Amino acid sequence: MAKSAQRLGTVVGVNGNMVAVEFKEKVMQNEVAFVIVGEETLKAEVIRVKGNRADLQVFEDTSGVKIGNRVEFTNQLLSVELAPGLLGQIFDGLQNPLPQLAEQHGFFLKRGAYLYPLDKEKKWEFTPKVSVGDKLRAGDTIGIVKENMFDHRIMAPFDLQGEAEVKKIASAGQYTIVEVMAQLKTDNGKTLDQTMVQTWPVKIPIKAYTQKLKPVEPLVTKLRLIDTLCPVSIGGTFCTPGPFGAGKTVLQHLLSRHAEVDVVIVAACGERAGEVVEILEEFPELIDPKTNRSLMERTIIICNTSSMPVAARESSVYTAVTLAEYYRQMGLNVLLLADSTSRWAQAMREMSGRLEEIPGEEAFPAYLESRIASFYERAGLIQLRDGTQGSVTIGGAVSPAGGNFEEPVTQATLKVVGGFLGLSAARANARKYPSIDPLESWSKYTSFIDAEKIRLAVGMLQKSNSVGQMMKVVGEEGTSTAEFIDYLKGDFFDSVYLQQNAFDKTDEASPADRQKHVFGIVHEILVQEFDFEDKAKARRFFQELRQNFINWNSSAWGSDEFSSAEKQIREKMEASKLATV
Partner 1 sequence: MQKVYSQIIQIAGDVITVEADDIGYKELAEVTTDKGSSLAQVIRLDSGKVSLQVLAGSRGVSTNDKVRFLKHPIQVSCSENLLGRIFTGGGDPRDNGPSLTDNMINIGGPSVNPSKRIVPKNMIRTGLPMIDIFNSLVESQKLPIFSIAGEPYNELLARIAMQAEVDMIILGGMGLKYDDYLFFRDTLEQHGSLSKSILFVHTASDPTVECLLVPDMCLAVAEQFALEGKRVLVLLTDMTNFADALKEIAITMEQIPSNRGYPGDLYSQLASRYEKAVDFEGAGSITLLAVTTMPGDDVTHPVPDNTGYITEGQFYLRGGRIEPFGSLSRLKQQVNDTTRADHRTIMDRMIQLFADYRETLEKRSMGFQMSDWDGKLLRYGKRFEEELMDLAVNIPLEQALDLGWSILADCFEPAETGIKDSLVKEFWPKEATAS
Of 114-122, 182-190, 227-235, 396-404, the window that binds partner 1 (rule: CB under 8 A) is 396-404
Q: Which is nearer to partner 1, 189 or 475 (CB)?
A: 475
* β pairing state of 419-420 and 237-241: parallel
Decide if residue 308 touches partner 1 (CB under 8 A). yes
DSSP symbols for 346-409: HHHHHHHHHTTPPB-GGG-BTTHHHHHHHHHTT-EEEE-TTS-EEEEEEEEEE--GGG-TTSHH
Q: How far is CA 522 from CA 252, 441, 486, in A?
A: 27, 21, 14
Decide if residue 29 touches partner 1 (CB under 8 A). no
Nearest to 456 by CA among 218, 228, 221: 228
Q: Which is nearer to partner 1, 278 or 574 (CB)?
A: 278
CA distance 272 to 513: 36
Decide if residue 387 touches partner 1 (CB under 8 A). no
Query: Mask 212-241, x = binds partner 1 (CB under 8 A)?
Result: ------------------------------
Decide if residue 459 touches partner 1 (CB under 8 A). no
Nearest to 355 by CA among 365, 342, 345, 346: 365
By CB under 8 A, name the one of 5, 50, 51, 107 that touches partner 1. 107
Q: Which is nearer to partner 1, 144 or 351 (CB)?
A: 351
Decide if residue 102 touches partner 1 (CB under 8 A). yes
By CB under 8 A, name the one of 273, 286, 527, 556 that touches partner 1. 273
Q: Which is nearer to partner 1, 245 or 478 (CB)?
A: 245
DSSP symbols for 430-489: TT-SS-B-TTT-EESSPPSS-HHHHHHHHHHHHHHHHHHHHHHHH-GGGS-HHHHHHHHH
Decide if residue 12 touches partner 1 (CB under 8 A). yes
Decide if residue 524 touches partner 1 (CB under 8 A). no
Decide if residue 285 touches partner 1 (CB under 8 A). no
Decide if residue 116 touches partner 1 (CB under 8 A). no
Label residue 433 exposed, middle or buried (CB < 10 Å: 0-12, 13-18, 19+).
buried
Which residues are within 8 A (CB) of 470 and not within 5 positions of it... i.e. 6 or more apart? 478, 479, 483
By CB under 8 A, name the one of 2, 25, 50, 106 that touches partner 1. 106
Question: What do you get for the CA distance between the two ends of the chain, in Å?
Answer: 88
By CB under 8 A, name the one of 145, 255, 263, 310 that touches partner 1. 310
CB of 86 to partner 1, least distance (A): 16
Q: How far is CA 253 from CA 6, 234, 397, 518, 525, in A?
A: 45, 18, 11, 25, 33
Q: Which is nearer to partner 1, 295 or 303 (CB)?
A: 303
By CB under 8 A, name the one of 1, 2, 63, 560 that touches partner 1. 63
CB of 366 to partner 1, least distance (A): 13
Decide if residue 550 touches partner 1 (CB under 8 A). no
CA distance 502 to 111: 40
Of 148-156, 192-200, 359-367, 494-502, the window that binds partner 1 (rule: CB under 8 A) is 359-367
Decide if residue 306 touches partner 1 (CB under 8 A). yes
Decide if residue 472 touches partner 1 (CB under 8 A). no
CB of 275 to partner 1, least distance (A): 9
Decide if residue 270 touches partner 1 (CB under 8 A). yes
CB of 353 to partner 1, least distance (A): 5
CA distance 195 to 373: 34
Q: Hey, which residues does 42 pair with through a beta bridge?
A: 35
In the three-class reduction of DSSP (H, G, I as helix; E, B as strand; rest coil), residue 429 is classed as helix
Decide if residue 55 touches partner 1 (CB under 8 A). no
Phi, psi (rounded to 5 degrees) for 359: -80, 150
Q: Which is nearer to partner 1, 184 or 268 (CB)?
A: 268
Q: Which is nearer to partner 1, 215 or 400 (CB)?
A: 400
Decide if residue 57 touches partner 1 (CB under 8 A). no
Beta carbons of 404 and 424 less than 8 angstroms apart: no
Decide if residue 272 touches partner 1 (CB under 8 A). yes
CB of 286 to partner 1, least distance (A): 15
Which residues are within 8 A (CB) of 534 and not within 5 positions of it... i.e. 6 or more apart? 481
Q: What angle do CA 410, 411, 413 make, to 5 degrees?
A: 65
Decide if residue 399 touches partner 1 (CB under 8 A). yes
- Which residues would be at the binding site for partner 1 (CB under 8 A)? 11-15, 20, 61-68, 90, 98-99, 101-102, 105-111, 243-245, 268, 270-274, 276-278, 280-281, 303, 305-308, 310, 343, 346-347, 349-350, 352-353, 356, 359, 362-364, 399, 401-404
